[in-house]
Amino acid sequence: MEPGTFYNEAVERLSRDELNALIDERVRYTVRYAADHSPFYQAWFRDHGIDPASITAHEDLLGLPVVSGKTIREHQPPATPGFMFRSVAWEEIFTIHETSGTSGTPKSFFLTWDDWLRYAEKYARSFVSQGFGRGDRIVICASYGMNVGANTMTLAARDIGMTIIPTGRCSFPHRILTTYRPTGIVGSVFKLIHLARRMLDEGLVPADSSLERLVVGGESFAEESRTYVAELWQREVFNTYGSTEGTMCGECVVRNGLHVPEDLVHLDVYDPALRSFVPDGECGRAVLTTLLPVGGHAGTLLINYDTEDTTVVMTREPCPCGRTHMKIMNPQREAETVWILGVPVNRVDIERGVFQRANMEYLTGEYEAFVYGGDGEGETILRVSMECSDTAYTPREEIAENFRKSFFRYKPDLARSIGDTFSLVFSLTEPGGLELYRLKGRPKRLVDRRS
């Protein structure tokens, strides 16, 4: 398979009318499958007075209730004796997976081999759309375990004809790069920054490596941090988004939004505050529905599932790359959003301010932010801590002003409250001085410490 082509051209280039017809066919089959095989959805249809046969097109999904991660946890052990979302017999389950469980009991998901093949195709389409093809060698800096990402990418590589180097971490020895000469690497923004800096400290130049393109996955990020990674490596950086639930989307070479594999997963955008779905172009929470091909099976399927990630449908028009599937903005995790004086502040808003280009002459990119209640009634303090290469030679006020300009550009209501009910303060630390270094697990970079 040559780079720049299509993994499944017949589907990826369907006209909008043809694609909608295929989606509707799979919506009908998936709903019927859920009614026949899923204990949860059998009760769900009955309790809500829904006739599964009345769901004939994707627009009909907009009239159905939304389910959530809380719903899944309430219908599995220890809350119930059995796993109500499991929709095949145990002997048909190939693997069992759990989410991280940061908000309570981990959610359980069951995958058949057919599920894995569909998951792999989603990632394969993204890889090919980014220019990867047969003969490429990709380092995977993502954990192989209860999460599905690393294994899914590995299966996708098999189908494309690529070679995977499954390091699992970005702390691998540099001989991996010099000996095997990989052409791509997948990792988070911070893993790729750390790797580049480690190479520079050891006299190696990232831009001189064999890597041809980088893929960022696993978490949302600011465009400014992606730009900085691209500068460190002198390479294009592509974005992917995925979850255990099956929302695998990826940027193509145009790099203007992530393509949704609409024939495999249906995505709507929902505004919980209004209790309704919103039109294209408006921000809301991504709500997904598993789409099964006629005759297909699924270990766990989801209908109108709230991912708790916010996004915007950018366009359903054909992309210059030739693909016709819709594109969405890079989703942000709802769990990484705090509300300050009625204004939503996401971790990405903090990251954008940190990674202002002028700041990166002095900062490492590592940061954390905390929200506190002030002394006065209704007063809120946002404290941003940034790690410096050398605090003695860091222009503190210049860095603070760069952050303020970026932050208030997108949060004008907070700018109007500054000095009254809102305070924005900064601290700079030496390498290793942030609190997150003393905690186990994935760093939480925006923490609400109001009582």
Q: How does pLDDT run across 178-225, given as a tens digit for each residue? A: 999 999 999 999 999 999 999 999 999 999 999 999 999 867 899 999
Domain housing 253: 1-330
Rounded CA separation 124/18 (Å): 22
The predicted structure's pLDDT at residue 3: 44
* Per-residue model confidence (pLDDT) at position 130: 96
pLDDT of 1:
41
User: Is the domain of 399 the same as that of 325?
Assistant: no
- 112-123 pLDDT, tens per residue? 999 999 999 999
Q: Are residues 271 and 384 in the same domain?
A: no
Residues 283 and 370 in one domain: no
Q: Among 283, 314, 330, give the residue marking a domain's end.
A: 330
Residue 372 and residue 322 share a domain: no
What is the Cα–Cα distance from 39 to 26, expressed in whole angstroms? 20
pLDDT (0 to 100) of residue 344: 93
What pLDDT is recorded for position 2? 47
Number of domains in the chain: 2
45 and 187: one domain?
yes
Burial state string for 45-82 with b = 16 or more CB within 10 A and e = fewer than 16: beeeebebeebeebeebeebebbbbebbbebbeeeeee
311 and 362 both lie in a single domain? no
CATH number at residue 304: 3.40.50.12780
Tokens of 77: 């052990």
Q: Is the dihedral of CA 416, 419, 421, 422 positive or negative?
A: positive
| Among candidate residues 330, 345, 378, the one where a domain is terminated | 330
Whole-prediction pTM: 0.92
Domain boundary among 330, 359, 392: 330
3 state SS of 184 = strand
Residue 4: predicted pLDDT? 52
Same domain for 60 and 89? yes
Predicted confidence at residue 103, as pLDDT, reads 54
Task: Verify that 296 and 430 share a domain, yes or no.
Answer: no
Is residue 317 domain-shared with residue 344, that is, in the same domain? no
> Are residues 160 and 269 both part of a single domain?
yes
CATH number of the domain bearing residue 427:
3.30.300.30
The residues of the chain scoring below 70 in pLDDT are 1-4, 100-104, 218
Clarify whether residues 255 and 381 are in a common domain. no
One domain for residues 295 and 148: yes
